[in-house]
Amino acid sequence: MSTYVVGDLQGCLDPLQRLLDRVRFDPARDHVWFVGDLVNRGPDSLGVVRLIRSLGDRAIAVLGNHDLHLLVAAGGHARIHRGDTFQDVLAAPDRDELLDWLRRLPLFHVDGRWAMVHAGLLPSWTVEKAASLAREAEDLLRSERWDDFLRTMYGNRPDAWDDDLVGWDRARVIVNAMTRLRICSPEGVMEFHHKGELEDIPAGYVPWFDAPHVRGDRHTILFGHWSALGCRTGPGYISLDSGCLWGRALSAYRLEDGAVFQIDCPALAG
């Protein structure tokens, strides 16, 4: 039995199928985890969601910012952008079932020494605290208040964690950190504009995984979201967004032995 962790898909079904073939994935024996951003900007968001959903408990996926954008747009709380390509999900006959499945996905997954999130964690959060906070936001998404939550989710403020936060502000910080974070100040003030290389990070900010952090206790954090990093391993973390959408590669990391598998991808976004 093997467990493979796959980087950001963003609607790229063909590379996913080729990658699963490459590792000889057997749904009767193996598991596959996805670091989020299952949908959007690639050619087949519908096919990706249907495939992962069909795997049942053999697959675990966390929510990414593009997955949440699909839910927000489906609820009529945000306009569909010019580059969005999840309209196939919105027009599907099984749309309601797929959207309901999507909003019930976790934001954070912990299994033994492994922890998986789409984007990152704030410096003041232990893995245990992050898991508890994720459940708060997940409970909102799965509750009768889920539409209100999506309606108020967008925004960059507050931009730092405070244990005294309440209501939508509290939920927004949790979601922003786990689905949008790349860099922050050493104290945990989030910056949402930088998407580039490590050497180009603005003064006063650091990659979230280099902030003074308790992340390295006994957990290794698996994440995506930052394609400029590529597939890399560092102290206490493994990044897995290797830019499939941009014509680079789709990556999978096997938990049992650290083997990395990659499939070349055509450029699908300009």
Of 71, 14, 2, 76, residue with least CA distance to 37: 71
Strand 3-6's sheet: what is its strand order? Answer: 59-61, 31-34, 3-6, 249-254, 260-264
For residue 19, pLDDT over 90 is answered with: yes
For residue 24, pLDDT over 80 is answered with: yes
Residue 91 burial (10 A CB sphere; 0-12, 13-18, 19+): exposed
The 10s digit of each residue's pLDDT in 102-129 is 999 999 999 999 999 999 999 999 999 9
For residue 270, pLDDT over 80 is answered with: no
Of 16, 97, 107, residue with least CA distance to 67: 107
Residues present in the chain in total:
270
The C-alpha atoms of residue 51 and residue 168 are separated, in whole angstroms, by: 33
Q: Structure tokens of 211?
A: 């902030």
For residue 221, pLDDT over 70 is answered with: yes
Please, are residues 210 and 237 in contact by the beta-carbon 8 Å criterion? no
- Percentage of the chain surpassing pLDDT 90? 94
Whole-number pLDDT of residue 269: 60
Whole-number pLDDT of residue 218: 84
Whole-number pLDDT of residue 268: 73
For residue 48, pLDDT over 70 is answered with: yes
**Domains of the chain with CATH codes:** 3-264 (3.60.21.10)
Whole-number pLDDT of residue 110: 97
Give, in order, the Cα–Cα distances in Å from 201 to each of 178, 205, 223: 19, 7, 19
Give, in order, the Cα–Cα distances in Å from 208 to each of 61, 70, 119, 221, 223: 21, 26, 9, 12, 11
Identified catalytic residue from 66, 69, 213, 225: 66
Q: What is the DSSP letter of 91?
A: T
pLDDT class of 217 with cuts at 50, 70, 90: low
Give, in order, the Cα–Cα distances in Å from 79 to each of 36, 37, 84, 157: 21, 18, 10, 20
Assess whether 66 carries a catalytic annotation. Answer: yes
- Percentage of the chain surpassing pLDDT 70? 97
Region 147-176 average pLDDT: 97
Taking every pair of C-alpha atoms in the chain, what is the biggest distance, in angstroms? Answer: 49
Mean pLDDT of all residues belonging to the chain: 95
The residues facing 214 across adjacent strands are none
Cα–chain center distance at 9: 10
Q: Which residue has the higher pLDDT, 203 or 213?
A: 203
The C-alpha atoms of residue 30 and residue 25 are separated, in whole angstroms, by: 6
- Residue 191: CB atoms within 10 A of its CB come to 17
